[in-house]
């Protein structure tokens, strides 16, 4: 689980709330109210982190509260494995080698090699 502080800043003219993550500059969104802003924060955090191979260290909340006294600072958590499983379903082709006798038996049973490999990898990785 990753936790990052988000800065929620209400618009003084409307009920909208802007949201940004100081540690992930491209993660910026807004909501029509505070509840909507929290929902949007969850979504934009996962979307922005998809392209990261290493995740940045989160900022200290107490420092952010001093820097942004008119805003609400909240930790937003995300499980990237779950997020990617839900939102990134692109399939990739893999070339595998299996013993011929095993291949023949599997084909006789009309087994789906891709499905079986996916299930085996999920079990092995415990996800």
CA distances from 109 to 65, 94, 98, 103, 105 (A): 62, 21, 16, 10, 6
Q: CA-CA distances (angstroms) from residue 122 to 63, 65, 86, 115?
A: 40, 41, 14, 11
Q: Are 56 and 24 in contact (CB under 8 A)?
A: yes
Highest mean predicted confidence (pLDDT) among 47-51, 56-60, 79-83, 110-114: 56-60
- The pLDDT-based confidence of 94 (bands split at 50, 70, 90) is confident
Gap between the Cα atoms of 63 and 98, Å rounded: 56
Least confident of 26-35, 39-48, 66-75, 111-120: 111-120
Class of domain 2-87: alpha beta
Residue 89 pLDDT greater than 90, yes or no: no
What pLDDT, on the 0 to 100 scale, is given for residue 127?
A: 79
pLDDT-derived band at 124 (thresholds 50, 70, 90) equals very high
Higher pLDDT, 45 or 86: 45
Local structure of residue 70 (DSSP, 8 states): T
87-109 burial, b at 16+ Cβ within 10 Å, e below that, comes to eeeeeeeeeeeeeeeeeeeeeee
Is residue 92 classed as helix, strand or coil in its secondary structure? Answer: coil
Average confidence score pLDDT of the chain: 91
Give mean pLDDT, residues 27-40.
Answer: 94
pLDDT of residue 88: 72
pLDDT above 70: percentage of residues in the chain: 99
Quote the pLDDT of residue 93: 84
Token couple for 72: 């609400």
Q: What ranges do the domains of the chain cover? A: 2-87, 91-127
pTM for this predicted structure: 0.69
């Amino acid at each position: 689980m990753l936790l990052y502080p988000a800065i929620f800043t209400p618009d003084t003219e409307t009920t909208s709330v802007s949201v940004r993550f100081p540690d992930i500059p491209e993660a910026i969104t807004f909501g029509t109210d505070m509840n909507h802003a929290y929902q949007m924060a969850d979504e934009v955090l996962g979307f922005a982190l998809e392209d990261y191979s290493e995740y940045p260290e989160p900022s200290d909340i107490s420092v952010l509260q001093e820097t942004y006294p008119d805003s609400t600072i909240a930790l937003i958590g995300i499980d990237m494995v779950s997020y990617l499983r839900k939102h990134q379903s692109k399939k990739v082709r893999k070339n595998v080698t299996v013993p011929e006798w095993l291949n023949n038996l599997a084909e006789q049973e009309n087994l789906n090699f891709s499905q079986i490999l996916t299930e085996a990898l999920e079990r092995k990785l415990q996800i």
